[in-house]
Structure 1
């Protein structure tokens, strides 16, 4: 494959980030810059503007799921979506996107069903008072795992786009 084809695939591929409370924005920028891929941060507000032309910020209305809906409406097969939101992960996996949680956990067609079921079970336990619903804190090893996994998924997506 020649350089022109590789650059065309990179320009089509994008990373979409559910940016509200996302702890790995800097890591996404770092990996995307290394590979020359556009990043779009989608949020209800509060995003710091970037001078980098490869970084886009999209601010959506404050409505429930507005950021999720924007991401679903704009994600294409083989794009990469970064989110901790399980329902959004399920919707974008169904579109053929590569989906990664901020702890480095990939969501795939094989794993998303269990993730949705566990989310629903935990929600039920919280609603019935059986569980306090505390989430584990974000640890340095989560950041490291995320960086490695994002790089791996991005390389796979670029290779898939170049072959397709």
Structure 2
């Protein structure tokens, strides 16, 4: 199992590394050249060009069944799920076959509203409790996946 992180705007990189170290799992941070940051000393960094969707395409081309992807991009999440990998948002919500269609539909409707000149409310400001919730849900998802791979 490899952990792929859509690293351009991921606010929980440290939390991902912390839990992944505990289970000795490989982490690959995929970032555009514009978002390159100092290495965390644990993760492998893959740097792509700054074109739209470059990070997503790199993850899509690498991810395999049983891997895990952390992203807030619903489009990427839907493709990851089709490849039979696990996917979670940086707020700790696991994307599933049951919830991805509704999320994509809401995104589509928001885009239509904005194209028509309307406004839509963005996500709430991130809180410390969301970081803790991410940690709990991420570790729970990893444990379940590792347990299932032993069966």
Q: TM-score over 0.5 for the alignment?
A: yes
1:70 counterpart = 2:67? no
Who is 1:161 aligned against?
Answer: 149
Q: Secondary structure of 2:29's partner?
A: strand
1:122 counterpart = 2:120? no
1:49 counterpart = 2:49? no
On the 8 A contact 2:39/2:45 being kept in 1, the answer is yes
The alpha carbon displacement at 1:132 in A equals: 4.1
* Partner Cα distance (2:144, 2:120) in 1: 38
> How much is the aligned-residue C-alpha RMSD, in angstroms?
1.2
**Deviation readout 1:88-126 (Å, 9 max, x if unpaired):** 011101111110000111101111111111111111112
91-100 vs 154-163, greater mean Cα deviation: 154-163
Alignment: residue pair count: 149
Structure 2: 5+ residue stretches without partners: none
Which structure is richer in relative contact order (CA contacts within 8 A, separation 6 or more)?
1
On the 8 A contact 2:4/2:59 being kept in 1, the answer is yes
Q: Secondary structure of 1:146's partner?
A: helix
* Partner Cα distance (1:86, 1:64) in 2: 15
Give the 4+ runs in structure 1 shifted more than 6 A: none
Q: Secondary structure of 1:136's partner?
A: coil
Q: Secondary structure of 1:57's partner?
A: strand
Structure 1: 5+ residue stretches without partners: 1-12
The alpha carbon displacement at 1:69 in A equals: 0.6
Q: Secondary structure of 1:152's partner?
A: helix
